[in-house]
Structure 1
C-alpha cells in the first residue's frame, strides 16, 4: 500500500435511488461523504467543501501538486485557509442554472442506435450512472406542467415504481442485455393508456404533446 491513496466519495442525491424522495424532501439530511485514506492519522476535518474541491484535494493528497485550481475547485486545505466571506462568494459561483426544458413545448428526439435523447437544445446520453448502458431504464422526470426536473437510472421499472408511480416521465428501456429496446412517454403506471409506448423505432421524433393527454 506504499504510495497509495484510497478515496471514497458518495452523494445519495446524485442519482435517484430508494432514499431519493426522502432526502430531497429534507435537504438538511443530505451529507456528502468524502474520505481519504493515505496512511496519515485519522481525523475529521470540518471544512465546508463541494464537489468541485474533490479533484484538487485528491491531487494534493497524492503529492501530484502542491497547489491547484480546477475551474472553481481548490484543495480542501486552501478552502480552510480562505476567509469565510470568500467561501460564501465562491459557493454562489458554483450555482448552475436549471435546464429550461419542457415536455409539452420542446421537441423530443430519441436515437436508439446512438443511445441519445434530445429535448429542446439539451442532449442526454443514455448511460448506467455515467457508464456504458447494458440494460435497465434511463428516465427523464418532469413536473405536472411538463418542466424538466431530473434524470435517473434503474435496473428495472419495479425498482422505481413505488416512488415514481403517477409521475410524468419519458424513459428508454432495455430489460436484458440482449433484449429489445423501447421508449415510453407519459404517466408511470401499469395502465397502458397512461402513456405512449414505442418499440423498434430507430430514430424517433415526438412533437406537440398535449398536457391534456397525460393529465393526472
Structure 2
C-alpha cells in the first residue's frame, strides 16, 4: 500500500502585471501573499523572505522555484524572472517557468464546470490582445500569440472551435467576448482569484516535470521603450 503523496516544497513568484504575488507549497500546506500596489524590483525580495519564514522554510531552501514568464509588463517581468533565477541558482534547485496565460487558465479552471477549452487573454494595449487557448487538462490548443482584436476570430477559428470555449480569464477577457460573440462565443468570464497568480502556479509547479517547463521569458513583442539615438 502506497503512502501519502509527498510534493517538493515549492516557491512561486508572479510579477507579470498589476499585483505582485508569491506562494509557497510545503509540509505546512499552501500559502500565498499578494501586494496590489507593489514595485517588483523593491518589494518581491521582502515578500519572498516573509512567506518563506511563515512557511517554516526560513534558513532552508525550497526544493524548486516557479515563475511567470510573460507576457506582461516588461520591467516587472524581468525583475521577477531575475529574482527567481537568482534564488534557484543560489539554492541549486530546479527553476520552472509558466506563461502568464497558462497561469490564468489554471486559475480559471477552478470555475470550469465542463470539460471544454479555457481561453486566457491579456489586454496588450494598442488595440491588441495577448491570447492562448488551453484544453480542460491545460494542454495547449492555441499557443500564446498577440493579435489586433479585430483579427482575433481569424487567428483562432482555424485552430479551435470558438463556440467550444467555456471560460475566459484575464484583463483581455471583455475584449475577447466582444470580438468573438458574433462567431458563436457564449463563454463566461472568470473573475481573477484574490490570491494572485502565484497560488495556482505553485500548485502546478509542485507536481510538474521541471524539464518540461524551462524558464525563458515570453514577451510576444518588443518592449515599448527604445534606446535614444545618439546625438550628433
Whether TM-score is above 0.5 comes out as no
Q: Which has the higher contact order (CA 8 A, sep 6+)?
A: 2
With normalisation by structure 2, the TM-score equals: 0.25
Higher helix share goes to which structure? 2
Larger Rg: 1
